[in-house]
Amino acid sequence: MSSGGTKTTLSVIKADIGSIAGHHKAHPDTLLAASRVLAEGKKKGIIVDFYVTAIGDDIQLIMTHFRGINDPQVHELAWDAFKEATSVAKDLGLYAAGQDLLSDTFSGNVRGLGPGVAELEFSERPSEPVAIFMADKTEPSAFNLPLYKIFADPFNTAGLVIDPKMHSGFVFTVLDLYEGKAVDLSTPEELYDLLALIGTTSRYVIKYVHRKDGEPAAVVSSERLNLIAGKYIGKDDPVMIVRLQSGFPALGEALEAFSFPHLVAGWMRGSHFGPLMPVGLKDAKMTRFDGPPRVLGLGFNVKAGRLVGPTDLFDDVAFDEVRRQAAEIADYMRRHGPFMPHRLGPEEMEYTTLPDVLKRLEGMFRPFDLGYKPIVKHEDLLE
Footprint on this chain of Mg ion (rule: CB under 5 A): 16, 23, 56-58, 136, 234, 237
Nearest-CB residue for Mg ion: 23
**308 strand-pairing partners:** 301
Site string for ligand F6R, 84-123 (x = CB under 6 A): ------------x---------------------------
State which of residues 290, 295, 323, 349 lies at the interface with ligand F6R (CB under 6 A). 290
State which of residues 11, 17, 20, 23 lies at the interface with ligand F6R (CB under 6 A). 23
Q: How far is the CB of 199 from ligand F6R (least distance, A)?
A: 23
Residue 170: in which H helix or E strand, if any? strand 170-176
Of 5-13, 28-36, 116-124, 264-272, the segment contacting ligand F6R by CB under 6 A is: 264-272
Clarify whether 16 is annotated catalytic: yes
Of 30-38, 202-210, 265-273, 339-347, the segment contacting ligand F6R by CB under 6 A is: 265-273
Quick check: 224 binds ligand F6R (CB under 6 A)?
no
CA-nearest of 284, 292, 301, 288 to 265 is 292
Quick check: 22 binds ligand F6R (CB under 6 A)?
yes
State which of residues 27, 65, 224, 235 lies at the interface with ligand F6R (CB under 6 A). 235
Q: Would you say 297 and 258 are in contact if contact means Cβ atoms under 8 Å apart?
A: yes
Site string for ligand F6R, 180-219 (x = CB under 6 A): ----------------------------------------
Set 14, 16, 51, 58: catalytic member: 16
Q: Would you say 254 and 151 are in contact if contact means Cβ atoms under 8 Å apart?
A: no
Quick check: 268 binds ligand F6R (CB under 6 A)?
yes
Q: Would you say 152 and 209 are in contact if contact means Cβ atoms under 8 Å apart?
A: no
Q: Would you say 275 and 293 are in contact if contact means Cβ atoms under 8 Å apart?
A: yes
- The span from the CA of 340 to the CA of 166, in Å, is 40
58 binds, among Mg ion, ligand F6R, none (CB under 5 to 8 A by kind): Mg ion
CB nearer to ligand F6R: pick between 23 and 27: 23
Q: How far apart are the first and last CA of the chain?
A: 55
Of 122-130, 153-161, 266-274, 312-320, the segment contacting ligand F6R by CB under 6 A is: 266-274
CB nearer to ligand F6R: pick between 22 and 108: 22
CA-nearest of 297, 239, 308 to 49 is 308
Q: How far is the CB of 136 from ligand F6R (least distance, A)?
A: 8
Set 137, 149, 235, 303: catalytic member: 235
Q: Would you say 274 and 330 are in contact if contact means Cβ atoms under 8 Å apart?
A: yes
CB nearer to ligand F6R: pick between 235 and 343: 235
Concatenated DSSP letters for 316-380?
SGGGHHHHHHHHHHHHHHHTTTTSTTTBPPHHHHTTSSHHHHHHHHHTT------SS--SS-HHH
Set 232, 237, 285, 303: catalytic member: 232
269 binds, among Mg ion, ligand F6R, none (CB under 5 to 8 A by kind): ligand F6R
- The dihedral built from the CA positions of residue 285, 287, 289 and 293, taken in this order, carries a sign that is negative
Q: How far is the CB of 68 from ligand F6R (least distance, A)?
A: 32
Quick check: 27 binds ligand F6R (CB under 6 A)?
no
Provide CB contacts within 8 A for 104, sequence distance 6+.
none
Clarify whether 235 is annotated catalytic: yes
Size of the chain, expressed as the number of residues it contains: 383
State which of residues 159, 234, 238, 278 lies at the interface with ligand F6R (CB under 6 A). 234
Concatenated DSSP letters for 32-44?
HHHHHHHHHHHHT
- The span from the CA of 296 to the CA of 298, in Å, is 7
CA-nearest of 58, 64, 90, 95 to 77 is 64
Q: Would you say 110 and 13 are in contact if contact means Cβ atoms under 8 Å apart?
A: yes
The residues carrying an active-site annotation are 16, 232, 235
Q: Which parts of this chain interact with ligand F6R (CB under 6 A)?
A: 22-23, 96, 137, 234-235, 268-270, 290
